[in-house]
Amino acid sequence: MLRGRNQPSVAGPAEMLYYLFFYVLRPYFSPLNVFRYITVRTAVASLTALLLSLLLGPWVIERLRGLQVRQYIREEGPKAHQKKAGTPTMGGVLIVAAIAIPTLLWADLRNPFVLLALGGTIAFGAIGFVDDYNKVVRKRNLGLTARRKFLMQVLVCIGVGVALIYLQGRGAYSTQLSVPFMKRLRPDFIINGLRHQSFVWPLAYIPFILFLVLVIAGLSNGVNLTDGLDGLAIGCVLVSSAALTVLTYVSSHARFAEYLELQKIPEAADLTIFCGSVVGASLGFLWYNAHPAEMFMGDVGSLALGGAIGIVAVIIKQEILLLSIAGIFVIELLSVILQVGSFKLTGKRIFRMAPLHHHFELAGWSESKIIVRFWIAALVFALFALTTLKLR
């Protein structure tokens, strides 16, 4: 049975700081009682991630330079990007570490949603690491093939789906879809007619798995495509993850969830700490990735961050609202799909270059102006998503 939001583990192999502070030291120092609250541990996790990113950033940059882990620019990309060649890449390793360490320190490691989000993030980061490593070895902007990369992402999504189906069986998760503005409409992706049929019961879960691939792998690739200008992707991730932190908290809080008519997911409370770690890690990495960037996140960072956002949205049942929370990533992904589809069908291009931020570059916008305006758009999308909470 899963524990409630204020009932952390008191025994077991996980040695967490909040366990130390709340259960070991609190009897001798009562102010440590604050560490029972999710909000406090989320704030501390965010600060821990921020400090880790800021303190380890210079060391990571020097190590990447020493290992000659450099960015290679696409020949068909904007000519102005050629000057970025040689900048250290694979800085996403720092982002993943800055997310994982605070989560391990401040969250309840017996919470399955925390483990699922953290494991999925690391898995997507591993895919990106392999892709980046191949680019470095070949000394060209050619890593994994698109088909192989997508296949690996699908496998991770299947793993996430199997875990969620297991949690559904324990009553900790619902496969029903939450539709904004239609509180009584909650379609289920599970084909109930097949669930109890011999031999064919796995087919009942195929629509749910396909939906997860669309959401999680799609967003992972969306962040990856957005990562083309200094600070663009990480700034938008910062905004999206901050919005998800709020949504995760209210979804796990019984009173807030009831008032806002959200699906109550009390077991997802510690997932707020994971989201806070993403916020802190993103803010810290932005310090070094801001224009002109001292290092790039690479696929190891972009795939991991996109996967993290997608997994959290699926867990807290905000998959549709993710279209607004991660609006910039969705638009960037759609611009590539439309560009490729239009060219194959008609031989004509819709945009001067895709993803969309390259279109504005070729239109004469400066890099800094594109970045800031996309950040503003990301903030507007996130605020709109939060305003829909009561409009249901």
The pair of three-digit structure tokens given for residue 104, joined into one six-digit string: 């391990």
pLDDT tens-digit series, residues 8-20: 433 333 446 656 5
Kindly tell me if the per-residue pLDDT of 330 is higher than 80: yes
133-138, long-range: CB < 8 A, 24+ apart: 133/90, 135/72, 136/68, 136/69, 136/70, 136/89, 136/90
Using DSSP's 3-state secondary structure scheme, residue 261 falls into coil
Give the residue-averaged pLDDT of 132-150: 81
**What average pLDDT does this structure show over 22-46?**
72
Q: Say whether pLDDT at 92 is over 80.
A: yes
pLDDT of residue 258: 77
- Write down the H helix ranges in the chain: 17-19, 38-66, 92-106, 112-138, 146-169, 192-195, 206-212, 218-226, 232-252, 254-260, 271-289, 298-315, 322-325, 327-346, 356-362, 367-387
pLDDT score of 199 more than 70: no
Provide the Cα torsion 211, 216, 221, 224; round to 10°. Answer: 170
Could you tell me the pLDDT band of residue 144, with boundaries at 50, 70 and 90? confident
Global pTM? 0.90
| Average pLDDT over every residue of 119-138 | 91
> pLDDT at residue 4 above 70?
no
Query: Mean pLDDT throughout 112-121?
Result: 96
CB burial of residue 37 (10 Å; 0-12, 13-18, 19+): middle
Determine contact, residues 201/194, Cβ cutoff 8 Å.
yes
Question: What are the sequence ranges of the domains in the chain?
Answer: 17-387
